[in-house]
Amino acid sequence: MVRPLLDRVTVPLERALADAKLKPEDIDSIEMVGGCTRVPIIKEKISEFFGKPLSFTLNQDEAVARGCAFSCAILSPVFRVRDFSVHDIVNYPIEFTWEKSPDIPDEATSLTVFNKGNVMPSTKILTFYRKQPFDLEARYAKPELIPGKPNPWIGRFSVKNVVADANDEFMVCKLKARLNLHGVLNVETGYYVEDVEIEEPIPEEKKEGDAMDTDGANGDSEKPKMRKVKKQVRKGDLPVISGTASLDKSKVEEYTEKENAMHMEDKLVADTEDKKNELESYIYELRDKIDGVYAEYSNDEEKEKVKAKLDQTEDWLYDDGEDTTKAVYVAKMDEIRFLAGPIIQRHLDKIEAERQAQLKAQEEAAAKKRAEEEAKRKAEEEAKKKEAVDTEMKDADADAPKAGNNDAEMEEVE
């Protein structure tokens, strides 16, 4: 019954090896990722195809997500990660088609611009010879290869302001088509060019053994020979109007509103679960504290009321309250807090009173210490003043006899 499905398992493996120009024996290791690879028969078929055992060193469910996160870290300037080069390629070829110009009957009407295996990002220049505005479309060249068979049409691009010159000659139109890093195609710019004659020097071929010419030997150096060549010079821009399969503005706004609504629903679910867990935790916490730290702040009647409410809410939580709204959980929490609030407030009041008393004691101790330090400072100043006065008095007493001797000598002289 499953044989047709099993035969399809190796098809993408064969295609991948063919695109890489490798053989099964060229592969050194096969790392399995993805949930489907857990199926034993799938693992057996893959191992049989490569002829070697499989490796399961990565988390099969998270490998792709982690790779995406690592790629984002590489692109972000915020993170510094080990250098790791990632190159993506075009998996499904993209072609451009256009209507044949009536002035060019043998003109082709399609061109595969981005072939399978083309590295992204990539830019190609398309050249058209036209006398009037024209359109071209982009589509997948081989839609049968795309899984799911989506619409192969990518977009339509209209090139404007195309006119013939004064001699009714074609305008040479250049279009720059770019496939960016994310695989999004766009015709970025359009412009037209003209052939202009310019002069450029003709490079001279030097033969071996020829002497080098110098100004001293040959006088002024000869002017290089010139030749006229035609080169295309960009003359002006051509506006390009893009029409892709994107949604119109009203649809984008509608889907944005739906996305925001889904985001709010997800947030409500998360908030509801948080309130449920908060209620459950509060029941256990309060049950422990009512006979513990809150015991001295409540009488027996208050304790019994709170305990009964906790038991009632717990029974409801594991029965009818298993799946309800956020508002109901909040209401249940408020009911418990209404009963336990006075008890908890007394506990908080005592803690605050103790804190204030401790703060007051600290302030008084600090004031006492400051007073003692001030008294000590004043005492030291008084002692210094007294010591200075005593020193002055001693000096005065020591000088007094000397003054008397001088008087006696003066009397003798007289």
pLDDT confidence of residue 390: 76
pLDDT in tens, 62-82: 888 888 888 889 888 898 888
Q: What pLDDT does residue 145 have? A: 85
Start-to-end CA span in the chain (Å):
157
Which residues of the chain carry a pLDDT beneath 50? 211, 214, 216-217, 403-414
Q: What is the pLDDT of residue 58?
A: 82
Integer Cα distance of 355 and 348 in angstroms: 10
DSSP 270: H
> Contacts by 83-88 with C-beta closer than 8 Å and gap 24+?
87/119, 87/120, 88/119, 88/120, 88/181, 88/183
CB 11 within 8 Å of CB 19: no
Q: Please name each of the domains of the chain with its CATH number.
A: 3-75 (3.30.420.40), 94-202+225-246 (2.60.34.10), 250-366 (1.20.1270.10)
Structure tokens at 59: 């988390």
Q: What is the distance of C-alpha 273 from the center of its chain?
A: 28
Which residues, in sequence order, are bridge partners of residue 124? 177
CB 49 within 8 A of CB 25: no
Supply the DSSP string of 121-145, one letter for each residue. SEEEEEEEEESS-EEEEEEES-GGG
Residue 408 has what pLDDT? Answer: 42
Helices 249-290 and 326-413: angle between axes, nearest 10 degrees: 70
